[in-house]
């Protein structure tokens, strides 16, 4: 099969011919339909990055497809089932795994593989697709689930005043899930206004630019009150300090930004406000199922995040081009064309 392989940081992915992987016990083989390119794929392949993929691996963790082979003991899926594939797996037996939380397992491993024609996934964690959810929509479930977890950890409710800083797909997913939670005061903020309209489509009630007038605009947006929950998805040095500075007394800052540089903030101001600082990565198996259910119920606004689909051959050059900010939001790779 054809697959895009990571060789070393700073080197473009290489299209190679690889053997089709064999599903182990409890696993399924998925023929990949669509796989999103994630900001973490850029970060984990960047020159000089302190966190990279293992050389030789096939990245791609936001994918959908059809089950084409079953490993030993699989009863939860059948050949031909369409799924949103869960890209990590745990040991399957510990307390976290039994609760559908493989990210909480000490043996949590990244299966990925969505940048190839076929990939392996843990059968019990994949979300089967009902007839009303397309394979293209299902490729958005993974980034949407990241937003679901962030919003769950932020304990957002209908009365929350929410600020989302950084409008990458995770920030946009947090807006969408805050809207699903019934929240009506969702302010989106980013240095550039290029995704302001998209933020509105996802459910934001207002957009403010992160410029010199940011704090005044923020106060105006919430009628003089501070936000209760701030989502930080920018992943840039200084972003957590800004979030801690904006959030109100006893508020919560949820950070999902992948910043691999040293960063600093003054803890005393956060202590005085008794802020809860929560980092978030991943999701529960239930978050995947909730995303699929929301799409099935007709909440298909996330489709607006997809700016184009490309073939696997074009992935290496496209991934390199995405390092520069541009018009793209979510790009989907179609390994089989
Ligand atoms: Zn991702
Ligand atoms: Zn486990």
Q: Which ligand is nearest to the CA of 142?
A: 1
Nearest alpha-carbon partner for 279 in 254, 261, 246:
254
Task: Say how far apart CA 310 and CA 312 lie, in whole Å.
Answer: 7
Task: Supply the pLDDT for residue 260.
Answer: 85
Residue 38 CA, ligand 1 centroid: distance in Å: 4
Residue 327 CA, ligand 1 centroid: distance in Å: 19
Domain ranges of the chain: 2-139+300-334, 144-279
Task: Say how far apart CA 46 and CA 69 lie, in whole Å.
Answer: 34
The mean pLDDT value for 232-259 works out to: 95
In this structure, which residues have their CB less than 5 angstroms from ion ligand 1?
38
Residue 34 CA, ligand 1 centroid: distance in Å: 14
One DSSP character per residue, 275-322 reads -EEEE-----HHHHHHHHHHHHTT--GGGGGEEEEEEGGGHHHHHHHT
In terms of phi and psi (left: phi > 0; alpha: psi -120 to 50; beta: otherwise), the region of 30 is beta
In this structure, which residues have their CB less than 5 angstroms from ion ligand 2?
90-91, 94, 97, 105
Q: Are 99 and 158 within 8 A, CB to CB?
A: no
The mean pLDDT value for 7-20 works out to: 96
Task: Say how far apart CA 149 and CA 145 lie, in whole Å.
Answer: 6
Instruction: Give the CATH number of domain 144-279.
Output: 3.40.50.720
Q: Are 64 and 84 within 8 A, CB to CB?
A: yes
pLDDT, tens digit (0-9, with 9 covering 90-100), for 74-107: 999 999 999 999 999 999 999 999 999 999 999 9
pLDDT, tens digit (0-9, with 9 covering 90-100), for 215-241: 999 999 999 999 999 999 988 999 999
Residue 53 CA, ligand 1 centroid: distance in Å: 13
pLDDT-based confidence at residue 259 (cuts at 50, 70, 90): confident
- In this predicted structure, the answer to whether residue 337 has a pLDDT above a threshold of 90 is no
In terms of phi and psi (left: phi > 0; alpha: psi -120 to 50; beta: otherwise), the region of 277 is beta
243-259 exposure pattern, b = at least 16 Cβ within 10 A, e = fewer: bbbbbbeebbbbbbbbb
Q: Which ligand is nearest to the CA of 233?
A: 1
Overall size of the chain counted in residues: 337
Nearest alpha-carbon partner for 81 in 138, 146, 20:
138
pLDDT, tens digit (0-9, with 9 covering 90-100), for 288-335: 999 999 999 999 999 999 999 999 999 999 999 999 988 999 999 999
Say whether 217 sits in a helix, a strand or coil.
helix
| Topology of domain 2-139+300-334, CATH | Quinone Oxidoreductase; Chain A, domain 1 (3.90.180)
For the chain, counts of helices (H) and of strands (E): 11, 17
pLDDT, tens digit (0-9, with 9 covering 90-100), for 98-113: 999 999 999 999 999 9
Q: Are 30 and 135 within 8 A, CB to CB?
A: no
Residue 211 CA, ligand 1 centroid: distance in Å: 28
């Amino acid at each position: 099969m054809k697959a895009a392989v990571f060789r070393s940081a700073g080197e473009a992915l290489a299209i190679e011919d690889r053997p089709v992987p064999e599903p182990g016990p409890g696993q399924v083989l998925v023929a990949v339909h669509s796989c999103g390119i994630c900001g973490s794929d850029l970060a984990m392949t960047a020159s000089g990055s302190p966190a990279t993929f293992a050389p030789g691996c096939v990245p791609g963790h936001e994918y959908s497809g059809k089950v084409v082979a079953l490993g030993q003991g699989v009863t939860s899926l059948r050949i031909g089932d369409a799924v949103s594939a869960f890209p990590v797996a745990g040991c399957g037996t510990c307390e976290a795994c039994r609760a559908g939380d493989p990210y909480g397992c000490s043996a949590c491993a990244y299966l990925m593989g969505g940048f190839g024609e076929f990939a392996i996934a843990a059968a019990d964690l994949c979300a089967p697709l009902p007839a009303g959810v397309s394979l293209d929509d299902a490729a958005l479930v993974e980034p949407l689930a990241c937003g679901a977890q962030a919003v769950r950890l932020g304990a957002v409710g209908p009365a929350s005043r929410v600020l989302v800083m950084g409008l990458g797909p995770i920030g946009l997913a947090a807006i969408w899930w805050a809207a699903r939670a019934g929240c009506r005061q969702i302010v989106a903020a980013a240095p550039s206004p290029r995704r302001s309209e998209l933020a509105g489509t996802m459910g934001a009630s207002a957009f403010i630019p992160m410029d010199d007038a940011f704090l005044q605009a923020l106060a105006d947006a919430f009628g003089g009150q501070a936000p209760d929950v701030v989502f930080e998805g920018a992943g840039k040095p200084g972003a957590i300090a800004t979030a801690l500075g904006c959030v109100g007394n006893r508020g919560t800052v949820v950070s999902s930004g992948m910043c691999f540089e040293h960063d600093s903030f003054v803890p005393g101001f956060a202590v005085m406000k008794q802020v809860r600082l929560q980092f978030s990565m991943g999701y529960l198996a239930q978050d995947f199922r909730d995303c699929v259910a929301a799409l099935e119920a007709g909440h298909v606004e996330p489709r607006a995040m997809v700016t184009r689909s490309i073939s696997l051959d074009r992935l290496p050059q496209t991934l390199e081009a995405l390092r520069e900010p541009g018009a793209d939001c979510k790009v989907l790779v179609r390994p089989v064309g």
